[in-house]
A and B are shown apart, each in its own frame.
Chain A
Amino acid sequence: MEPPDPIPMSALQHAVYCLRQAALIHLERLWADNRFTAEGHVLHAVTDRPGGRRARGIRRASGLALASRRLGIAGIADLVEFHLSQDGETPYPVEYKRGKAKLHRADEVQLCAQGLCLEEMTGRPVPAGALFYAQTKRRVEVPFDADLRALTEQTVADLRAVFDARATPPAIYRADRCRACSLSELCRPKQLARPVLAWRARQIEQLLLPEPPS
């Protein structure tokens, strides 16, 4: 039997934010090309160039294809640095993000997934990576601790379940999330919470009320 298609690692950040959002984008292929996503593409077009460069004991590889058979995920890393130490090279993924650090852990999970892939691919521990935020031009180091690893594996499992069932999870409206969601107009979480059958019956009832005398 064919192994299942790997889950694209770029879906993980969406899945942390909202599992439905990940399904709409990666399963149903709905895509709201708003300003944010467009800028994201441009940024990636710049950083996706494969090839390597050397600097001060650090070997750098950009556009590296990563995968984990154990987790069933795959994707392309913006940049992986290999830090030279006495016992060899330690991989250190660096992911570029537009804007600044976010309150939720989506970016960290995506990065940690890269770390897990690198561990499996190189057989060496990958203790940390970094997120580079375009707006603040700063690197933030992210340690891959037990918590983050668990969250990452859980996110992969949740996505796997959604992909296998080919079922988009129902919308649950949450103002803090949905208002900032680029897919809200395709998702329409508020309307989806409304039972249509009852609404339709009420509409017809109202339409058939006798006209008020004018």
Chain B
Amino acid sequence: MKIGLPRALLYYNYYPLWHAFFEELGCQVVTSSTTSKSTLDRGVMNCVDDACLPIKLFHGHVVDLIGRADAVFIPRLVSICPGEYICPKFIGLPEMIKSSIKGLPELLVLNYNAHRNHKDVHKPYIELGKIIGVKPSKVMLALQKATEKQQAYEMLLRKGQTPLDILKGRKYSKKEECKGIIGLIGHPYLLYDEFISMGIISKLRNRGYDVLVPENIEQSQIEMACSQMPKKLFWSYGKKLLGSGLTMLEEKKVVGIVFLSSFGCGIDAFIVELLQRYNHRQYRIPSALITVDEHSGQAGFDTRLEAFIDMVEWRDEREGYVPPYGTSIFGY
């Protein structure tokens, strides 16, 4: 059986797990092609207008798999951590796909919900196995092997690799003469989709900087940073972005921070807002918000990034001159 894995949304978080899982079950895994203009166009055509870019893109990747796989894998992650949620759109994803795309192959939906307890996390995988026709005992074995792969992946991430480095099999080693570290905050499906992020990671590296991404930060640090919030943040990924941003600021490791966000993203609107405000109030590190949508062009993107780098370097020359509140170029 050929199983299609859309290269979008949480793919970048979990592909080692999912890949290995299906392969262990004896399935063949087909990943959708890397994002291109046509993936995006097909996504836009097959999705409601009001959805955000990443959701449209997911639709595009599913369309890309039609005819190439016997079944398409759609993760429905309601919650990945007790008491927390992720973006509501992930919860309704299978329904959105079913309603918007015609001529779909079978959908393999993973109904994952750790909102109430964390103990039964293997159950949805067993369900999947049932659909494919594999015995629970074998599924458990596959899951175990896959989990090991996933853990190894996460370990590499925490050692400073980005998911892109690992995906492409190019180990990145830190520069000898690095001009500084730039923090890059954004959802994985924006940052590591090179079409969407316009290769921002390599661009920054080519300019002589190292990048630090949320995946590099320890979960315990994220938790600690967010525990200072007056109310528990109930979006796991929102928390990850805010917590890693705060950690980067707090440890004074970074010389600048770029937020990459998609237009109309409800969660980012809040997270970026809070982070910007804390930054301006306390740390005053140069920052830029770059918002992408389906109409974003390379030129505009580059200009913004250049302006940001200029600001970082300008400030560096003046040895820590602190720009007053409100001078961040794209911030508020």
A binds B: no
Give residues in A with beta carbon < 8 Å to B.
Answer: none
